[in-house]
Structure 1
């Protein structure tokens, strides 16, 4: 009887509002963003896989790759794509156990008056100090995606319907991007997602792309033997492109993966054989996904959507708004890494979390949890880029899990 009274009281407070948008239900966030310099083009911030030890950041902007080895205080240009119209396209890196420096793979393109522009791959085995051009798989390749198996990388191809001579599919190299083996040539693939335990499990997921109808037979495929065989991996997913897929840092033990498609976040606890929707935003869409590097212990998930940055401390059951929620902004990229900071004695927010009932991907009821704490300190460093509508892109950093933010010092980019 008491439980029934409590449930009725909660319902009377919030009403039967199915399909409610979390950002409109929780507008009490006190943690705004400072006024920071911006860039006219969007850049990508990529911390080192061992950022808490080497304090290294990369800033990929137009034709230049910038690197900071002192926590983002100063920057050096470590790679310039060749003219004319050079563009740095994709950066992947791996920290190998027996190597003191990062191994980096950088994809870049440049125009020579032909279409499509030439695309190639450069590799550095000393963290970006020196680069050696490798053999591009062809002008249509994107990548390469590094693995924790030395010299093994993957690349993808999307075949432009107007330029078909270069093919499509998935490629693999086992000699550091010098030579390539075509694994699939029957599907357009825009991204591959490599298991953090690849050397042991040989798992790689691939997200399909559709230029025209009909759509691909499966929007997500997977290999569990390094690329020799592939199978569909979309049981439980929607019929749309997989925008992002992220493995738990403890994937080798917990077999947990997260993925989102437009407006729905899914997870799998059996290495991608089955998926379940765990969070849905009505009339909204997601833009980026990040997991705490200590996810196996703290179960923290970050999601950016078109007007807010969200955090969950409990595997997606409850969500809090860290930034935004009032509309008018366009949040894009969030990346997270651990740091070695010491927590303050008192630092907590007052945001009321909401419980998202995932029984139906199209109907959600958000109920405030009585007595639940708000956002709280975590020893995590977050990097966020935000593009207000019609404005420059701005870059921010938090060293306390998103409680407070400061401007990220930018390289001397030409704007």
Structure 2
């Protein structure tokens, strides 16, 4: 049987990991693919000491790989959304299958890329774009294909999860842990994509497209980061029986589809609440199977390489069977099937509220009255004793489920009370049951 020939573009952390795993586990991989898979060319400006290319040719111009008539599958691991997009489209135009780990590229330009791939009769695979080594894309496409997915929630950024874990376990402040995350290589010098939720939003869009059969709509994701989470909120969450996680949540409701990334309080007894450090996890609720949890390493050279190579194997099997495969996303194309994307102000959830109040009778009654007028009830309460005759005390509430815009309106009224000092901190609460 004719071998499947692979060209790898990018020889950084994931590129070198992919080369090493494909080389080291060649016998097992070929046996599972049912066909020999050979790396015949690498596109990279320089070699990486982390891997020995041996006799594999390296070219500085990655577009040479895209135009090489011998290459059957191009593996894009250069990152970014400009050159990477041009490279992928050129490979598709040349009739090559593409495997990528580039979540930003898929989230922002996937609609165009998949349309081009369908026209050309080639596959674009992207398992490694979400949650590193966790095979969540395959789970949604294949393992859960019989289900109507009701919702999914994921810890899909290891940097943010590491920071929140350290804050909880050691009582550290956000900025302190962020510096350590940068020193350890978990966070970039500019950590915005990780800590402000942009990276997670890219991944959530991809998951939602697969789960609900909708076009990729990165601009529809509500995104809120973790930089404003204070150690006291982490402590109060634990006191209430919750943990704070930075979640990507996609939910299909009668009112529309929710796409949101934000800090979320979830019951400490949930399995996903106990996913710590840099690990990732995705919880998916299907109507037939119920909740299923997928856990593992969300980044790193070889965990991500594992997902990249799984896609290469799938493409190789298809090539060996003489089929081109199909585009991996199934969108609703008819106008009357286009789902309504629910804006954040229309989303319903419960809330944690923390405020600084004057230590005098009637304060809680005033706050409760404002919430009641918005049809929001108080489900739990923590009121601390004043410290050293301080005139102000922290007041912590858990509310019933409420529409976001109603809760925000109530917060404005609470903040306007003379007995409340400063802003009211709010964190959304999900049961994930």
> Which of the two has higher C-alpha Rg?
2
Larger strand fraction of residues: 1
TM range, smaller chain:
under 0.3
Where relative contact order (Cα < 8 A, 6+ residues apart) is larger, the structure is 2
Larger helix fraction of residues: 2
